[in-house]
Amino acid sequence: MKSSHMHELVAIAFLASFVSGKYFEAASVAFFMLVAMFIEDRTAVGARKSIESLIRLSPTHANLKTPDGMVRRDAKDLQPDDVVVVRPGDMIPCDGVIATGQSTVNQASITGESLPVDMAPGHEVFSGTINLTGVLEIKVTRTGRDTTLGKVQDLILQASESRPMVVKMLETYASYYSPVVLMGAGILFFFTKDMNRAISLLLIACPCAIILAGPTAMIAAISAASRLGVLIKNVTDLDIARRINAIVFDKTGTLTHGNLIVERLIPAHGVAPATCCAWQLRCRPTLIIQPPRL
């Protein structure tokens, strides 16, 4: 990784300061480097926690239907075209198609849909979702890392390994930055014969701020998004997001609760608003209503 050149420059600045007796400056350089490493570790830990939470969604066992009856198997040992039986309250162990049975399935962990979905033979179901009401027999189509849940886990791994465009640019120029700074310090010492000035140049040019900037911005963005329930596949997309001026959402329940109310009543031409209220009371005489806003 190109940032290793940055670390070499930091190490040289630290050693030069320490040898020359500038202990406070050496300690400052070491402190900022430790802070940068701590933030990077926190980023990795956050990614691991996200993956672990998804792994807990992955069912470990399945009820496999065989000619000899029901057999309990590890979910990882299932094969395509196997038939598994999922009882109410159980987690679906694979991606598949319903062979027999009807039920409602909670797919919030995969699709984000807030309400359970009615399922019938021929409908597709996903690993990690929960069967709620009826017994289902499901024909296996995908297992393990090939399931939709497995692909989500892979996306989180990719997000933890991706880097913003600014960080990539800094890493690209890092290989040129360190030699230029070292050359400048050498030239300064050659003409002035003053080691303190050369060390000062190394300390001033020490890229602690650059090393801190990338991980700090990345962990702040990922943490803020995760608190809002947003999964970032690639932090590079955050660079593009600043240019977005419109967003389209495709379903109720993502941003709303799905509870509809009458906000405004617009009578047809020639119909008085009072007549509409009278018709409503006539249909439901026990209903107490407030006059709608016209």
Q: Give me the domain span that covers residue 206.
A: 3-52+154-240
Split at pLDDT 50, 70, 90, the class of 275 is: confident
Q: Are residues 34 and 179 in the same domain?
A: yes
Statement: residue 55 has pLDDT above 50: yes
Q: Phi/psi of residue 71, each to 5°? A: -125, 130
Which two three-digit tokens encode residue 140? 């296996």
Q: What is the DSSP letter of 72?
A: E
The rounded distance, in Å, linking the Cα atoms of 30 and 206 is: 11
Quote the pLDDT of residue 119: 92
Quote the pLDDT of residue 143: 84
Residue pLDDT, tens place only, 219-256: 667 767 766 667 776 777 777 777 888 887 766 556 66
Range ranked top by mean pLDDT from 134-148, 212-226, 258-272? 134-148
251 falls within a domain: no
Q: Are residues 190 and 232 in the same domain?
A: yes
Residue 128 region, left (φ>0) first, then alpha (ψ -120 to 50), else beta?
left
Catalytic residue among 68, 90, 194, 250: 250
Q: Write the CA distances from 253 to 60, 111, 123, 125, 259, integer angstroms.
A: 30, 11, 21, 20, 9
Counting DSSP H helices and E strands in the chain, the numbers are: 9, 9
Q: Are residues 127 and 171 in the same domain?
A: no
Helix axis angle, 23-57 to 208-227, nearest 10°: 30
Q: Are residues 163 and 138 in the same domain?
A: no
Range ranked top by mean pLDDT from 11-20, 77-86, 108-117? 77-86
Average pLDDT, the chain: 76
Query: Of the given ranges (5-9, 47-51, 137-141), which has the lowest mean pLDDT?
Result: 47-51
Quote the pLDDT of residue 52: 62
Q: Are residues 41 and 187 in the same domain?
A: yes
Split at pLDDT 50, 70, 90, the class of 2 is: very low
277 falls within a domain: yes
CA atoms within 13 A of residue 236's CA, in its CB half-sphere: 8
The rounded distance, in Å, linking the Cα atoms of 153 and 110 is: 11
Q: Are residues 108 and 180 in the same domain?
A: no
Q: Write the CA distances from 261 to 207, 265, 279, 285, 293, integer angstroms.
A: 57, 11, 18, 20, 12
Question: Region 111-129: what's the mean pLDDT?
Answer: 86
Query: Of the given ranges (32-41, 45-54, 82-91, 183-192), which has the lowest mean pLDDT?
Result: 45-54
111 falls within a domain: yes
> Number of structural domains, the chain?
3
Statement: residue 261 has pLDDT above 90: no
**Residue 121's CATH number:** 2.70.150.10
Residue pLDDT, tens place only, 69-96: 888 888 888 888 899 999 998 889 889 9
Q: Phi/psi of residue 281, each to 5°? A: -70, -35
Quote the pLDDT of residue 201: 82
Quote the pLDDT of residue 1: 42
**Burial group, residue 221, by CB count within 10 angstroms (0-12, 13-18, 19+):** middle
Q: Phi/psi of residue 179, each to 5°? A: -60, -35
Domain termination residue (choose one: 142, 167, 188): 142
Known active-site residue 250: yes
